[in-house]
Structure 1
Amino acid sequence: MAVSPPVCDFGAAWHEFALPAGDGQVLTLAEVAGPRGTLIMFICNHCPYVRAILDRIVRDAHALMDQGIGVVAISSNDASAYPQDGPAQMAELARDAGFRFPYLHDETQQVARAYGAECTPDFFGYNAQGRLQYRGRLDASGRAPAPPEARRDLYEAMMMIAETGSGPRDQVASMGCSIKWKAA
């Protein structure tokens, strides 16, 4: 089911976390944050929306990292109900797709809840002071990739944040599959 998250809550503070990567190493927000801003992405392995843009996510994440912006991906899906979103499969995807950024597993789903993440992909762009400035889409892609020349909304917003500390006021929400929450 397609879900769109709410609009950006400008100035909202980020939330601390300590989550394991595929190699078992636990990383904190301080360890992944960048000096010019930080992008926190909620993604997963099986979502068709993520799969349609995975190459673009990697391209833009790496380009942002090269500009001093920290990048981290987090999967919060219930891996017992969706085993393809488990830690071993996450590590395999990260390796196969060439991630230079960490891909962390939020088994308890507490981090996703703290951030208010709703779908995959869900992008949270923070300035160097840890204040939310972007919560929008990567580009015009949906379940299928947008044309190659599509505007790079996320990349442009994060570069604006790195340069000015503020994000664009007009943002188009991301769209994707709902996070697969554990049964209560």
Structure 2
Amino acid sequence: MLLDTPICDFGWQAPDFKLKNANGDVFSMSENLGKKGLLIMFICNHCPYVKAIATRLAEDTEQLMAEGINVLAVMSNDYQHVEADSPQNMLRFAEQYGFKFPYLVDEDQQVGKQYGAVCTPDFFGFNHLGELQYRGRLDDARLHNDPNREPELLNAMQLIAAIGKGPKQQTASMGCSIKWR
């Protein structure tokens, strides 16, 4: 089912969480909320929308991390019913696309629910205070690899890092619904 994300609720405070990656390493929101902010994104392995942007996502997030902006990805799908999203397949998917960010398993789906995540991909850009400043899409290329794309997420996170505020104009991300239990 194709869904769009809601508009940005500027200033919404990010709830803390602790999640493990597929190797069992623990990551928390609060420990990753850096001086330049934090991008939390809800993605999965099987979604055609995530697959279509995965290479661009890896490139843009690598640039953000090089600039001191932290990035976490969360997989909230019920992988018992969608085997492609299992932790082992998360490792393969991350390696295939060269993801440098932690890719975390939301085993009980609580983080996805707390954040109000609705689809994959769903991007949440926070400033250094943990206040939501971006809830838009990756870029304007949608499912295509357009070299002339506008990297909206990258630009928004750089703005948030610089001034603590996100752009007023944001275009919703769209993708597959999260597979809830």
**TM > 0.5 fold call:** yes
Q: In the alignment, is the contact (CA less than 8 A) between 2:141 and 2:150 conserved in 1?
A: no
| Structure 1, unpaired ranges of 5+ | none
Looking at structure 2, the residues matched to 120 and 44 of structure 1 have their Cα atoms a distance apart, in angstroms, of 6
Q: In the alignment, is the contact (CA less than 8 A) between 2:43 and 2:73 conserved in 1?
A: yes
Looking at structure 1, the residues matched to 31 and 54 of structure 2 have their Cα atoms a distance apart, in angstroms, of 23
Q: Deviations over 1:101-140 (max 9, x none)?
A: 1000001110000000000000000001100000000012
Looking at structure 2, the residues matched to 67 and 48 of structure 1 have their Cα atoms a distance apart, in angstroms, of 29
| Structure 2, unpaired ranges of 5+ | none
Looking at structure 2, the residues matched to 98 and 68 of structure 1 have their Cα atoms a distance apart, in angstroms, of 18
1:99 corresponding residue in structure 2: 99
2:52 corresponding residue in structure 1: 52
1:6 aligns to 2:6 (yes or no): yes
Q: Report the CA distance shift for 1:132/1:109 in structure 2 as closer, same or farther (over 3 A).
A: same
Q: In the alignment, is the contact (CA less than 8 A) between 1:79 and 1:86 conserved in 2?
A: yes
Question: What TM-score does the superposition give when structure 1 sets the normalisation length?
Answer: 0.95
Q: Deviations over 1:57-108 (max 9, x none)?
A: 1011110011111101100000011011011110121122222110000011
Q: Which amino acid in structure 1 is aligned with residue 99 of structure 2? A: F
Between the aligned residues of both structures, percent identity stands at 51
Looking at structure 2, the residues matched to 122 and 59 of structure 1 have their Cα atoms a distance apart, in angstroms, of 17
Q: Which amino acid in structure 1 is aligned with residue 179 of structure 2? A: K
Looking at structure 2, the residues matched to 145 and 112 of structure 1 have their Cα atoms a distance apart, in angstroms, of 27
Q: Which amino acid in structure 2 is aligned with residue 174 of structure 1? A: S
Q: In the alignment, is the contact (CA less than 8 A) between 1:140 and 1:146 conserved in 2?
A: no
Question: Pairwise CA RMSD of aligned residues?
Answer: 1.0
2:115 corresponding residue in structure 1: 115
Looking at structure 2, the residues matched to 107 and 46 of structure 1 have their Cα atoms a distance apart, in angstroms, of 17
Deviation of the 1:32 alpha carbon: 2.5
Q: In the alignment, is the contact (CA less than 8 A) between 1:139 and 1:153 conserved in 2?
A: yes
Secondary structure (helix, strand or coil) at the match of 1:55 reads helix
Looking at structure 2, the residues matched to 110 and 145 of structure 1 have their Cα atoms a distance apart, in angstroms, of 32
